[in-house]
Amino acid sequence: MPSMRRTNIGRRTRNARNINEFRRAHNTQARAAQTPPQIRQHVNIRRSSDVALNRAAFEYDSAVAYKDPLCVDIGSLYIVCQHSKALKFRLETSGLCCAGGKVKLPVLAQPPDPLYSFFYGNTIQSKHFLAKTQKYNVSFQITSFGAEVIEQPGYNPSYKAFIQGQIHHRADALLPQPNEDHKFLQIYFVGNSANELEQRCAIFPANKREIIRQLQIHLHEHNQLVRMFKTALDTMHSVDYKIIIIADKRPSGSHER
């Protein structure tokens, strides 16, 4: 390969130096023309792009603009695990769902009726259930959602909720305090199926009463959590218990969860 002429080396060096000087001057002028809000936004974007999001919810920093797209854009849920066939986001690790095939999960069984008919049927009742699934789910939820919600000033027609710090789900006592109504998990222990049905129908009056009734019977007969809590209520004494589930804690030698 012929050696490069020294004059060409000098010309390339001068060109590179001129380009760098132009860029520095341009950036200086652009920064000088920025308003204070633009400067703060630029700083937040730089901080957000550099922040490590691993365990960020446990180490919240109010100076970081977590809502910035550069920080929270995780892409679409389109990656299929070759072992478990689970759907994952683009930046999730290959072993996140099943530890690279080490965790073997049984194939999901076909749901029993009435769930199967509601999900896969072609009746008016099934179509109504699929259109209102979220409301039916709320009518039977066991826990309440907890988080520190930041109220945004100004007009907010679509209402977007901004959450700071960690989120959690809270399960209250199995029985309400005297003179208080049953709510969430407590509705399962009203003690009378007719009264329980009335309370669930009152949550969303537009829900179909017959669908609520069928789901209520199904959950009492088949839901493992409901059956466990019913057993606990029958056997526990008047001692208060607290259960804390920490996702990143596991017994020594056990597989990832």
**How far apart are the C-alpha atoms of 69 and 245, rounded to whole Å?**
31
Residue 236 predicted with pLDDT over 70: no
> Which tens digits make up the pLDDT trace of 157-209?
666 677 777 777 777 777 777 887 788 888 888 878 888 899 889 888 989 99
**How far apart are the C-alpha atoms of 233 and 12, rounded to whole Å?**
82
**How far apart are the C-alpha atoms of 138 and 38, rounded to whole Å?**
42
Kindly state the percentage of the chain with pLDDT values over 90.
Answer: 13
The 8-class DSSP code of residue 93 comes to -
Which residue from 110, 119, 141, 109 is spatially nearest to 211, judged by alpha carbons? 119
Residue 255 predicted with pLDDT over 70: no
When pLDDT is averaged across residues 2-9 and rounded to a whole number, the result is 52
**How far apart are the C-alpha atoms of 181 and 195, rounded to whole Å?**
12
**How far apart are the C-alpha atoms of 255 and 99, rounded to whole Å?**
8
> Which tens digits make up the pLDDT trace of 73-119?
677 888 999 988 899 988 888 888 899 889 988 888 888 889 999 99
148 forms beta bridges with 164
- Angle, helices 124-131 vs 209-222, to 10°: value is 80
Residue 253 phi, psi dihedral angles, 5° rounding: 90, -5
Amino acid at position 120, single letter: Y
**How far apart are the C-alpha atoms of 201 and 194, rounded to whole Å?**
11
Amino acid at position 32, single letter: A
Q: How many residues does the chain have?
A: 257
Residues 39, 19: contact at Cβ < 8 Å?
Answer: no
pTM of the model: 0.52
Residues 147, 132: contact at Cβ < 8 Å?
Answer: no
Residues 211, 129: contact at Cβ < 8 Å?
Answer: yes
Residue 59 CA, chain-centre distance (Å), reads 17
**How far apart are the C-alpha atoms of 205 and 202, rounded to whole Å?**
5
pLDDT at 80: 92
Largest CA-CA distance found in the chain, in angstroms, rounded: 95
Amino acid at position 48, single letter: S
